[in-house]
Structure 1
Amino acid sequence: MTSRVAAPLRIGPYQVDTPVVLAPMAGITNAGFRRLCREQGAGFYVCEMITSRGLVERNPLTFRMIAMDPDEHPRSMQLYGVDPATVGAAVRMVAELDLADHLDLNFGCPVPKVTRRGGGAALPYKRRLFEAIVKAAVDNAADAGIPVTVKMRIGIDDEHHTYLDAGRIAADAGVAAVALHARTAAQRYSGTADWSAIARLRDHLPAELPVLGNGDIFSAADALAMVAATGCDGVVVGRGCLGRPWLFGDLEAAFAGRPLPAPPTLGEVAATLRRHAVLLCEHMGDHKGIRDVRKHIAWYLKGFPVGPEVRQRLGLVSSIDELDELLAMLDPGQEFPADAEGPRGRQGSPGRVVLPEHWLDDPEDASVPLGAELDHSGG
């Protein structure tokens, strides 16, 4: 890792030297976690998925979820919608109220409650509806100078690939970048991402339009390998940073051609975990914040020989003081274990994609499915 392998990433008027995007993850990429990641290295850091309907109807939970730190820049928001009119209205609201600097459209979610309504990874199959949504977002963001990007998957399943058509439609509609999670919706998070699809998409779209790759990036070496193998202009990191926000520091060093920082000791991991807890408490309140950090603890401690009693007590921690007491029981000098590397977070198994009735009958049908819009945010 002696030289830069990718240029700085530009999305609209915004540029970062490290071509890295934090993928929006429900229940994870809140303001506290984003700050923790931003403290490690440069990149675009996207908030949890926000529904266009929740935004337009000024749902209180949605508005709490779009809270950004005063120094967060650019402010990146991911928006989900199935109705072009609702998406357009939501983007106008973002522009008029100055809620974000960059908007990403979700066409990659494989969760059944989303796909059964025709949303997420199911939607690009309906080419004309997909086009109408993207154009509604781009057109309503244009006057405010807000760049719009899209994130999608290879397709619904191996018989219904959509990414090349969707990429071209998005490019023609004026998006600022296209990101591809190199799995189908049917794969969910199982198996191996097909990086060759990212390479095909890069070759298929105009050279000046950034194409970002997503899938199976669990280390800086993975990111460099993806860029080298596909020619993509940057990477999107999701599960790889769970319990290891310092991955963004590794990525910054790797893309700049610098040696990677030494892996953290258990003491340094514990300090990062505590910092995460404090940030969550600041943003969510003490009670909710400390409860929210519990789900992160197993990811932070993955591979470390921490006893089952301490792990169990940490999983039930109820205050910062109690967290301090338990973290003090750990051996701070323990080196980062080799078996902590690799996949983390949800993987699951492949399965049939739940779709609206007759969804696959006509890919040119632009009608909006009945009851398609989700009224709650966060995926």
Structure 2
Amino acid sequence: MGALKVGTLEVWPPVVLAPMAGITNTAFRRLCREQGGGLYVSEMITSRALVERNAKTLRMIRFHDEERPRSIQLYGVDPAVVGRAVRMIAEEDLADHVDLNFGCPVPKVTRKGGGSALPYKRNLLRAILREAVANAGSLPVTMKMRKGIDDDHLTYLDAGRIAAGEGVAAVALHGRTAVQHYGGQADWDAIARLKEAVTEIPVLGNGDIWSADDALRMMRETGCDGVVVGRGCLGRPWLFRDLTAAFEGSAERARPRLGEVAATMARHAELLVEHAEDERHGIIDFRKHVGWYTKGFTLGAEQRRALALAESLDELRERLSALDADQPWPAAAEGPRGKSNERDRVHLPEGWLDDPYDGVAPGADAESDISGG
């Protein structure tokens, strides 16, 4: 098995960290990079906010010096604005790779015609991809998508063929529809069908990769060229250590005791504080990670609460040091993590489904201040 080739980039192991709002900032990306190789993508960036040089957005695309290659995920609905954003990234050397988001199922995105709703409009999708590639210079442009809006409105095969025809360097498919959100089971058969339909460029698979062995099994069963890992690494950055080992043929897997988990938690909090340039904001941002890191371990409710309510790095370190460092990795820590509820319906612009090619277009407010998701 060779390296994943994404345009001019060679990625080894063939693993991509999925953009996750509020998670995949530079602190988390650095933490994961310390564990293993791959391509680590930023939080979702709104193309309009980028070209307007929104201060929050410019802050979100900062990369640490040790981050190479640098990957930005862009969200956009206007071909011209997406093209300008990609040109800005290329000309100002803001990143080495651009990923386009057509997979976000969040209602505030889909109700405006963006994210996982957009590929239903084939001509609009083609126009966005064409502008992005035309303005990227030597930077590879990739796209991430879902199967479609629901089982009655599948778009992934058409979208994959359009992407290949427009010069996109790789496509990634999350094996769920928008209405599934993160519920149910990912459809790996759809990944295999996309791989059969799109042979010109790499096809990456995403969905229900909770372990390195899941990644190997996905590639074996679907024939995909690489994997995209999202929720499986929440509270488990060492999953990237496992993935590197697995793709290099090693059966060794990380099973950290609570002491090692605690040290990683402290490191994560320190990186968040450095990223935020403010101790309190960094510590508050870390709080959402506590439950993921401690999942399955025997901790009292008061211990978990105390960790989540620490007010400073010193206080957090003190509370982490009080944990039973020798407590072994629990079987209950394996498997799914993160929210997984399905939705009743997908919120879409009125009349969106009337015509899969033209008709209703996303409104001018579809990109208003949603960098990060």
TM over 0.5: yes
Q: Does 1:316 align with 2:309?
A: yes
The residue number in structure 1 matching 2:190 is 197
Deviation at 1:364, TM superposition (A): 1.2
Aligned 8 A contact 1:129 1:366 in 2:
no
The residue number in structure 1 matching 2:282 is 289
Pairing 1:332-371 to 2, within 5 Å after superposition: 332-365=325-358, 368-371=361-364
Give the Cα–Cα distance (whole angstroms) in 1 for the partners of residues 154 and 178 of structure 2.
10
Deviation at 1:153, TM superposition (A): 0.2
Deviation at 1:324, TM superposition (A): 1.1
Q: Does 1:22 align with 2:17?
A: yes
Q: TM-score of the superposition, structure 2-length normalised? A: 0.98
The residue number in structure 1 matching 2:267 is 275
The residue number in structure 1 matching 2:166 is 173
Deviation at 1:238, TM superposition (A): 0.2
Q: TM-score of the superposition, structure 1-length normalised? A: 0.96
Deviation at 1:373, TM superposition (A): 2.3
The residue number in structure 1 matching 2:63 is 68
Give the Cα–Cα distance (whole angstroms) in 1 for the partners of residues 360 and 78 of structure 2.
9
Deviation at 1:374, TM superposition (A): 2.8
Deviation at 1:366, TM superposition (A): 6.8
Aligned 8 A contact 2:239 2:254 in 1:
no
Aligned 8 A contact 1:157 1:184 in 2:
yes
Alignment coverage as a number of residue pairs: 371
- 5+ residue gaps, structure 1, are 1-5
The residue number in structure 2 matching 1:85 is 80
Q: Report the 3-state secondary structure (helix = DSSP H, G, I; strand = E; otherwise coil) of the residue aligned with 1:117.
A: coil
Q: Deviations over 1:183-210 (max 9, x none)?
A: 000000000000000000000012x411
Q: Does 1:231 align with 2:223?
A: yes
Aligned 8 A contact 1:152 1:181 in 2:
yes
249, 257, 277: which one aligns with 1:257? 249
Q: Does 1:112 align with 2:112?
A: no
One-letter code aligned to 2:343: P
Deviation at 1:348, TM superposition (A): 1.5
The residue number in structure 2 matching 1:378 is 372
The residue number in structure 2 matching 1:248 is 240
The residue number in structure 2 matching 1:209 is 201
96, 118, 121: which one aligns with 1:123? 118
The residue number in structure 2 matching 1:137 is 132
Deviation at 1:228, TM superposition (A): 0.7
Deviation at 1:310, TM superposition (A): 0.9
Aligned 8 A contact 2:241 2:254 in 1:
no
Aligned 8 A contact 1:7 1:233 in 2:
no
Q: Report the 3-state secondary structure (helix = DSSP H, G, I; strand = E; otherwise coil) of the residue aligned with 2:354.
A: coil
Give the Cα–Cα distance (whole angstroms) in 2 for the partners of residues 139 and 30 of structure 1.
28
Deviation at 1:261, TM superposition (A): 3.4
Deviation at 1:346, TM superposition (A): 1.3
Q: Report the 3-state secondary structure (helix = DSSP H, G, I; strand = E; otherwise coil) of the residue aligned with 2:262.
A: helix
Aligned 8 A contact 2:90 2:139 in 1:
yes
Aligned 8 A contact 1:62 1:376 in 2:
no
The residue number in structure 2 matching 1:53 is 48
| Larger CA deviation: 195-204 vs 280-289 | 280-289
Deviation at 1:328, TM superposition (A): 1.2
Deviation at 1:367, TM superposition (A): 6.1
The residue number in structure 1 matching 2:3 is 8
Deviation at 1:368, TM superposition (A): 3.3
Q: Deviations over 1:297-321 (max 9, x none)?
A: 0000000001111101111111111
One-letter code aligned to 2:3: P
One-letter code aligned to 2:367: E
Aligned 8 A contact 2:114 2:362 in 1:
no
Q: Deviations over 1:229-283 (max 9, x none)?
A: 1000000000000000000000000011012234000000000111000111111
The residue number in structure 2 matching 1:3 is none
143, 151, 156: which one aligns with 1:163? 156
Give the Cα–Cα distance (whole angstroms) in 2 for the partners of residues 332 and 72 of structure 1.
31
Deviation at 1:96, TM superposition (A): 1.5
- 5+ residue gaps, structure 2, are none
Distance 1:373 1:11, change over 3 A: same
Q: Report the 3-state secondary structure (helix = DSSP H, G, I; strand = E; otherwise coil) of the residue aligned with 1:360.
A: helix
One-letter code aligned to 2:266: R
The residue number in structure 2 matching 1:266 is 258
Deviation at 1:17, TM superposition (A): 2.0
The residue number in structure 1 matching 2:97 is 102
